[in-house]
Copies of this chain bind each other. A is one copy, B any other.
């Protein structure tokens, strides 16, 4: 099996931890936020701006009258979102062709489909996700309540859905787009990793 692994994940499901540990276990590269830096170099845009574009914006940047058609789009912000996405596509392909790796998010399952990656989707129930997010929250977020956290989770998932669906034409989190869907509710992620790694024996 190809040792290129893409990880889609619900916010707070522990998909990032699972991916990181899996890369360690398999002794292969792990790509996550560092891809932003590479896109920044490639496009000469600021990382923060790119993060915003990649995680929140493309569909909003599209002028309403244009809908899904890419013809005659003159909106500058939208064009930039497109060029960020194209840069991301190029970079992901370069990375994956060069070396075995785990890639977190970024429509990598779709972008790299011709390389037949193992496409994993990680999810969990609300309770587990809220608990995980509360445990991992930053110090300056100590006052955030569980209810607020759940709202943030829902909002992040919505953004990921929009972004993924926009660029792939597929449905984010639909099991048919993945080889393996892993529910981390009530599980210890560290204990799941050796099993997934064994797929590559």
A binding-site residues for B, Cβ under 8 Å: 121, 123, 125, 173, 175-176, 178-183, 185, 187, 191-192, 194-196, 198-199, 201
A194-B198, A195-B196, A201-B194 known; A125 and B183 CB under 8 Å?
A: no
**6 nearest CB pairs, A to B:** A181-B181, A195-B198, A195-B199, A198-B198, A179-B183, A175-B181
Please, which residues of chain B bring their CB within 8 A of the CB of A179? Answer: 182-183, 185, 187
Question: Is the pair A180, B183 in contact by a Cβ cutoff of 8 Å?
Answer: yes
A1–chain B nearest beta-carbon distance, Å: 8
Q: CA separation between A175 and B13, bound complex, in Å?
A: 14
Q: CA separation between A121 and B180, bound complex, in Å?
A: 10
Closest B residue to A196 by CB, please name it: B195
Which of A175, A194, A196 has most chain B Cβ within 10 Å?
A175
Q: CA separation between A181 and B194, bound complex, in Å?
A: 17
A141–chain B nearest beta-carbon distance, Å: 27
Add 15 more A-B contacts to A125-B176, A176-B183, A195-B198 (CB < 8 A). Answer: A121-B175, A123-B175, A123-B176, A175-B175, A178-B181, A178-B183, A179-B182, A179-B185, A180-B183, A181-B181, A192-B199, A194-B198, A194-B201, A195-B195, A195-B201
Selected from B125, B173, B181, B194, the residue in CB contact (under 8 A) with A180 is B181
Q: CA separation between A191 and B179, bound complex, in Å?
A: 14
A68–chain B nearest beta-carbon distance, Å: 25
Q: CA separation between A104 and B192, bound complex, in Å?
A: 23
A13–chain B nearest beta-carbon distance, Å: 12
Can you show 29 pairs from A to B with CB atoms below 8 A apart?
A121-B175, A123-B175, A123-B176, A125-B176, A173-B175, A175-B175, A175-B181, A175-B183, A176-B183, A178-B181, A178-B183, A179-B182, A179-B183, A179-B185, A179-B187, A180-B180, A180-B181, A180-B182, A180-B183, A181-B181, A191-B199, A192-B199, A194-B198, A195-B195, A195-B196, A195-B198, A195-B199, A195-B201, A198-B198
